[in-house]
Structure 1
């Protein structure tokens, strides 16, 4: 089981903003569960954002009013006989805090306030912060289009906060039979997989600046120039330095090994192995042997966990396990061993 403190470190590398001075105090706190940790992060982040000023933007409003403003909708005013009330239908823009980013933030804070897993002191802080968003609406969470959210110079400071909100809503929230929401005890595997990938990429970017660490697209090593309908190959993390390349495929599963019931045996997941092998061989189009591959599993409670290196077709293919339940210093040591694969 992953330690709560380790989740904070993972979030810190995944979202570099958490390394800023304003969040340093969170590191010293002890958390009993993921809900309290995320509540503390949102409290600190929302407090910083309040001091900067919550984002405002122009939003379109329609109102029946006797104080004419904006564009008067004459046609609909006549249809609805609003002139009988000495009013007209007006369309106008209002410079308001009631924008989607603030709505998502407030909605997430309200969900955490209702969670029995968040300690009383943090719930009180969340309630107090919600008062500063008194004119902001809450949202129906199923209607949030996360991929449509955009960031620019004026709202860039929200990006980490909204990512944390998405983590809560997508990874912790579940619907009961009655249609009400309740919190999972831990993030679901899909969200942990995404966090795991972001964490690993962020770690190597920060701790190993001598390497170029990025997700990358790998081109097929085709012979005749025809690539129609071939699937795209995207690596989670690719480390490069000079002529050396290490392609890392991050895996966060409930189980890492595949079982062969007929022979009562276990082996490395064949699809994972085929995938990394394909990436490596297509990347190393000249057959130099300078391209290596690594499947990096998050450790499960299985009796057998892989920790193997293979030399296949002139390239090194490694399958390793990262124990996220270990002390943080041990995790750092394991990741440093991964970096040594570049040597």
Structure 2
């Protein structure tokens, strides 16, 4: 999707700094001045700095269930195990107990991710050496099978909040793995459009949230504008916007799109993807319950190498407008910011 790979990778870092404000703190800032030719090399550097900082704060610990033969009672007594010990003439008590341990899912995911990066050909040797040194502090942490990781159940309280950004990077890396059918080993694939789509959405949301607090940027769930007593609403899909901006009586709903091709071709004619248009139209019309015309929508595409990219608008009879805009991520980041600012000039 990009012409200048170096600019694109640097901008991924900037996008991450908006998605996770902590990247602007501590020792992460120096990354912005470095050149990265490969996305996984960038991720490796982020993990080097992030894990180093985490070690200074102390690795997260959780209570885990343990079982063992001890000299004194600890926790619950395992009678059967203790009897077996006596039969073997061992003066030990079998116990089941909880122990505060570093061997929990947060640290396991970090170690597992680092192990994959150490094998990746696009990570530079000096960064691999730094990662190896850090892993000396993870000697009590196990490597886990990535297929057993349930990313949707991850919860971050104040004790492990600093892990959120690191595990987000780990997700990008580990979710890009493919199981080979020959040897049963994992193989790294390229950073996919699906990963960039999620980062792109979060970046745009956090950009407007930071620079335009008066617009109250947030993701919003929209109710269906239906007669609920006469409708089977339970089978209707949930409508949740990527970004909703509100200023006084006006609202702009933004739906971000990151595709390898931003337009479809039918009968030699390039048009907006039908599903994209139907989706944003549904958001706008269901949000504007009273048909005031004060609710607009925007399909915000990431620029591709196509000759024709979305740029225009459609005005409906009630006055609602749907804008089609394209953001070029393959340029200096200051120009990206100018584009994002410019999208709001006539829409709010």
Give the superposition deviation at 1:167. Answer: 1.2
CA–CA distance in 1 between the matches of 2:96 and 2:9? 49
Is 1:278 equivalent to 2:282 in the alignment?
yes
Normalised to the residue count of structure 1, the TM-score between the two structures is 0.93
Normalised to the residue count of structure 2, the TM-score between the two structures is 0.92
> Match for 1:40 among 37, 40, 45?
45
2:268 aligns with 264
Within-5 A mapping of 1:148-159:
148-159=153-164
Is 1:234 equivalent to 2:248 in the alignment?
no
CA–CA distance in 1 between the matches of 2:11 and 2:135? 28
| Corresponding residue SS for 1:210 | helix
1:246 aligns with 252
| Corresponding residue SS for 1:37 | helix
2:5 aligns with none
| Corresponding residue SS for 1:58 | strand
Within-5 A mapping of 1:163-202:
163-170=168-175, 172-177=176-181, 178-184=183-189, 186-202=190-206
Task: Say whether the 8 Å CA contact 2:299–2:323 is kept in structure 1.
Answer: yes
Give the superposition deviation at 1:278. Answer: 1.2
1:140 aligns with 145
Deviates more, 1:11-20 or 1:81-90: 81-90
Alignment deviations for residues 298-320 of structure 1 (CA, whole Å, 9 cap, x no partner): 12222221111111222111111
Task: Say whether the 8 Å CA contact 2:11–2:329 is kept in structure 1.
Answer: yes
CA–CA distance in 2 between the matches of 1:250 and 1:82? 68
CA–CA distance in 1 between the matches of 2:346 and 2:21? 25
1:70 aligns with 75
Alignment deviations for residues 30-86 of structure 1 (CA, whole Å, 9 cap, x no partner): 111101111111111111111111111221111234454322200344367665333
Within-5 A mapping of 1:68-147:
68-78=73-83, 83-147=88-152
1:333 aligns with 338
Q: Which runs of 5+ in 1 are unaligned?
A: none
Deviates more, 1:224-233 or 1:248-257: 224-233
Q: Aligned Cα RMSD in Å?
A: 1.8
Alignment deviations for residues 266-299 of structure 1 (CA, whole Å, 9 cap, x no partner): 2111111111111111111222211110011112
CA–CA distance in 2 between the matches of 1:82 and 1:36? 57
| Corresponding residue SS for 1:161 | helix
The number of equivalent residue pairs is: 339
